[in-house]
C-alpha cells in the first residue's frame, strides 16, 4: 500500500468514519507566514481532523538529543490515544502542502508500530483544490487504544550515521546553503556530517507540493548514489525533513534509516567532525 493518499480517497474514508485524521501544520520559528498550527486549524481543517502538535506530540523537548528527539514510548502512546489513534483504524496526516510535517507524523507512528499510516499528498492545499469542504468545529477525538512499541523502522545513532556516510549513502535533506555551511539560521554550528550527500527535500515534490512519481524519485536518488545497492540513511536539522526524505525513498522503493537527532544532535559533541564547502 502506498504511504500516500489522494483527497478523493481520504474524503471517502472520512465520509464512512473509517479514518483518524491528524492536522500537522507546523513551521520552524520565524519561517512562516501566519496563520499556521492551531490558528490555521481553527480557521478551517479537514472534517473530523484533530490538531497534532509536532513539537509536543511527536517529539520530546529539545535537549542533548537534539531539537526534536524521539519521545518516550509511553509519552507518544498517551498523545496518540488522546488524538484518537487506534491500531485497527487507518491514520492520515496532512499539513499545508509539501508533507514536510505530515511525514514526521507518518514516520513516528510507523516507528512505534502502527501499520496503516498515510500522508495526504499535496496537503490541505490539494484538498481545497479538489473542492472538498472544510470544518471549523473543534473536534474531540474518541480516545484510541494505540500501544506504542518502538523499533518498527530503522534509526541511526551518530556513530552509525558517520559510518554510513563512509560506507553507504547518507543524505542531508537540508537546503544547499546549510549543507555547505554558508548559512545556518537555526543551529549554533554550520556545516555537515563529513561524507554526506546533499538531497534537499524540496526536490522530492513538484510546485504543487505533491510528491514526484516513484520512477522520478528513483531517478533522483539513483543520481545521488541511493539506488538500494548500498545502505541508505537520511538526516536534516532535527529529524523532521529527514522523515520526508525517508518517505520519498520509500516511494522510490529504497529502504532508509533515519538519524533522528540529526545535525542538532551531531553538534552537541565538539569532537565530532564538521565539513563545509
* Catalytic one of 21, 199, 236, 242: 236
Q: What is the mean pLDDT of residues 112-118?
A: 98
Is 236 an active-site residue? yes
Equal CATH topology for 4-129 and 158-266: yes
Q: What is the mean pLDDT of residues 108-133?
A: 98
Contact predicate 128/134, CB 8 Å: yes
Residue 158 CA to residue 272 CA, distance in Å, equals: 9
Sign of the torsion formed by the C-alpha atoms of 165, 176, 220 and 265: positive
Contact predicate 234/200, CB 8 Å: no
Q: What is the mean pLDDT of residues 248-269?
A: 98
Q: What is the mean pLDDT of the chain?
A: 96
Q: What is the pLDDT of residues 219-246, one digit of tens each?
A: 999 999 999 999 999 999 999 999 999 9
Homologous superfamily of the 158-266 domain (CATH): Rhodanese-like domain (3.40.250.10)
Percent of the chain with pLDDT over 90: 94
Residue 271 CA to residue 213 CA, distance in Å, equals: 41
Binned at pLDDT 50, 70 and 90, residue 1 comes out as: confident
Q: What is the pLDDT of residues 13-33, one digit of tens each?
A: 999 999 999 999 998 766 655
- ∠ Cα 92 93 96 (to 5°): 135
User: Where do the domains of the chain lie?
Assistant: 4-129, 158-266
CATH topology of domain 4-129: Oxidized Rhodanese; domain 1 (3.40.250)
Amino acid at each position: 500500500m502506498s504511504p500516500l493518499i489522494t483527497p478523493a480517497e481520504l474524503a471517502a474514508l472520512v465520509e464512512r468514519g473509517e479514518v483518524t485524521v491528524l492536522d500537522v501544520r507546523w513551521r520552524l520559528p520565524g519561517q512562516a507566514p501566519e496563520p499556521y498550527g492551531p490558528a490555521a486549524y481553527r480557521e478551517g481543517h479537514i472534517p473530523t481532523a484533530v490538531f497534532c502538535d509536532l513539537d509536543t506530540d511527536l517529539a520530546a523537548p529539545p535537549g542533548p538529543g537534539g531539537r526534536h528527539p524521539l519521545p518516550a514510548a509511553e509519552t507518544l502512546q498517551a498523545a496518540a490515544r488522546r488524538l484518537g489513534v487506534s491500531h485497527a483504524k487507518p491514520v492520515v496526516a496532512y499539513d499545508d502542502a509539501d508533507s514536510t510535517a505530515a511525514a514526521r507524523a507518518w514516520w513516528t507512528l510507523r516507528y512505534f508500530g502502527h501499520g496503516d499510516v498515510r500522508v495526504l499528498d499535496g496537503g490541505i492545499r490539494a484538498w481545497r483544490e479538489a473542492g472538498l469542504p472544510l470544518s471549523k468545529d473543534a473536534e474531540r477525538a474518541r480516545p484510541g487504544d494505540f500501544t506504542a512499541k518502538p523499533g518498527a523502522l530503522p534509526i541511526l545513532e551518530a556513530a552509525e550515521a558517520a559510518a554510513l556516510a563512509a560506507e553507504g549513502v547518507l543524505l542531508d535533506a537540508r537546503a544547499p546553503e546549510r549543507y555547505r555551511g554558508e548559512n545556518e539560521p537555526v543551529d549554533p554550528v554550520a556545516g555537515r556530517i563529513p561524507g554526506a550527500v546533499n538531497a534537499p527535500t524540496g526536490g522530492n515534490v513538484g510546485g504543487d507540493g505533491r510528491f514526484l512519481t516513484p520512477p522520478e524519485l528513483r531517478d533522483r536518488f539513483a543520481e545521488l548514489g541511493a539506488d538500494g545497492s548500498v545502505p541508505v540513511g537520511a538526516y536534516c536539522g532535527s529529524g523532521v525533513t529527514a522523515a520526508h526524505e525517508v518517505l520519498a525513498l520509500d516511494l522510490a522503493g529504497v529502504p532508509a534509516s533515519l538519524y533522528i537527532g540529526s545535525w542538532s544532535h551531531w553538534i552537541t559533541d565538539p569532537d565530532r567532525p564538521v565539513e563545509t564547502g
